Amino acid sequence: MKLGFGIRLRGAFALCVLLILAQGFAAVAQSQTQEVQVESIRKTATTTVANWGTTHNCVLSLDGTQAVADKMTTLAPAVSMRRLKYDLPAQRQKEVITALTTAYLDSLFKQAALPFRCPSSFELIQSGSLPAAFNDPDSGFLLIDGSEAKADIYIDGNKKGSIKQMFVLSSGKHTWRTMKCEETIQIAPNDTKRVFCSKQ
C-alpha cells in the first residue's frame, strides 16, 4: 500500500518536473522567436529608411536611422499578432513593416508643426509618437499620390498630410480627398491600396 503510494508520488513528481522543463523550453523558444522578429523588423526598417531618404532627397543621420528602427521594433508584438492572425508569409510581413516605416517617415516629414529637417536628429525622431493604428493588427495602408506636388490630403474630412504620402488606417471604409478627387474606398487588413489624382 505504502509502496504503491510512493511510486505514484514519484511518478507525479517526475511529471511535474517534465512540465516545468517543457514550459522552460517553450519560454526560451518564444524569447528566441521574439529576438528574431525584432531583428527582422530592425533590418527591414533600416533598409526602408535608406530607400525613403533616396526618394525624398532626405538622407537621415545614423542616429536618426537608428531612432526610426528602434521605434519600429516597438511594434514587434503587433506585427507578431498580424502574422498569427492572418498567417502572413515572410514576404508579406516584410511589406507590412516597410509600409509602417514609410508611413511613419512620411508623417514626420509632412507635419507642419514638427520642424523636420534633413538629416534629422535622434532626439527629434524619438519625440514623435506612433498613432494607435500602427499597433492595430487589422489596419491597412493607403498611398495617395497626385499630379500636384504638396496638394493637401483629407481623409474622412480631416486634413492628414499632402501628396505624396502613405497612411495607416483602420480596416473598413474611408473617404480620401485631394485636389478635385474624392473617393470612398475599402481598406483591408495588411493590404496597401494606391490611388492617384490627376484632377487639378
Contacts of 55 (CB under 8 A, 6+ apart): none
- Confidence band, pLDDT 50/70/90 cuts, at residue 37: confident
Which tens digits make up the pLDDT trace of 59-80?
888 888 898 999 999 999 999 9
Tell me what pLDDT residue 63 has: 85
Which tens digits make up the pLDDT trace of 176-199?
999 999 999 999 999 999 999 998
Q: What is the CATH number of the domain that holds 189?
A: 2.60.40.1120
Q: How far apart are CA 103 and CA 74, in angstroms?
A: 15
- Whether residue 179 is contained in a domain is answered as yes
Q: Are 86 and 158 part of one and the same domain? A: no
- Whether residue 1 is contained in a domain is answered as no
- Confidence band, pLDDT 50/70/90 cuts, at residue 22: very low
Mean pLDDT of the chain: 82
Q: Are 81 and 129 part of one and the same domain? A: yes
**What's the Rg (C-alpha) of the chain?**
23
List, as one string, the DSSP characters of the chain. Answer: -HHHHHHHHHHHHHHHHHHHHHHHHHHHHHHHHHHHHHHHHHHHHHHHHHHHHHHHT-PPPHHHHHHHHHHHHTTHHHHHHHHHHHT--HHHHHHHHHHHHHHHHHHHHH-TTS---SSPPHHHHHT----GGGG-TT-EEEEEEESSTT-EEEETTEEEEESSEEEEE-SEEEEEEETTEEEEEEEPTT-EEEEEE---
- Confidence band, pLDDT 50/70/90 cuts, at residue 200: confident
Q: Are 124 and 154 part of one and the same domain? A: no
Instruction: Determine if the pTM surpasses 0.75.
Output: yes
Q: Are 42 and 133 part of one and the same domain? A: yes
In the sheet with 140-146, reading across from the earlier edge strand, the strands are: 165-169, 140-146, 192-197
Q: Are 108 and 62 part of one and the same domain? A: yes
Indicate if the pLDDT at residue 159 is higher than 80: yes
Q: Are 69 and 132 part of one and the same domain? A: yes
Tell me what pLDDT residue 116 has: 54
Contacts of 20 (CB under 8 A, 6+ apart): none
Residue with cell 526618394: 55
Contacts from 123-126 at CB under 8 Å and sequence distance 24+?
A: 124/64, 125/60, 125/64, 125/67, 125/68, 125/71, 126/67, 126/70, 126/71
Tell me what pLDDT residue 6 has: 52
Indicate if the pLDDT at residue 53 is higher than 80: yes
Residue with the bigger pLDDT between 174 and 108: it is 174
Q: Are 45 and 94 part of one and the same domain? A: yes
Tell me what pLDDT residue 60 has: 83
- Whether residue 26 is contained in a domain is answered as no
Tell me what pLDDT residue 86 has: 94
Indicate if the pLDDT at residue 123 is higher than 70: no
Contacts of 128 (CB under 8 A, 6+ apart): 71, 104, 107, 108, 114
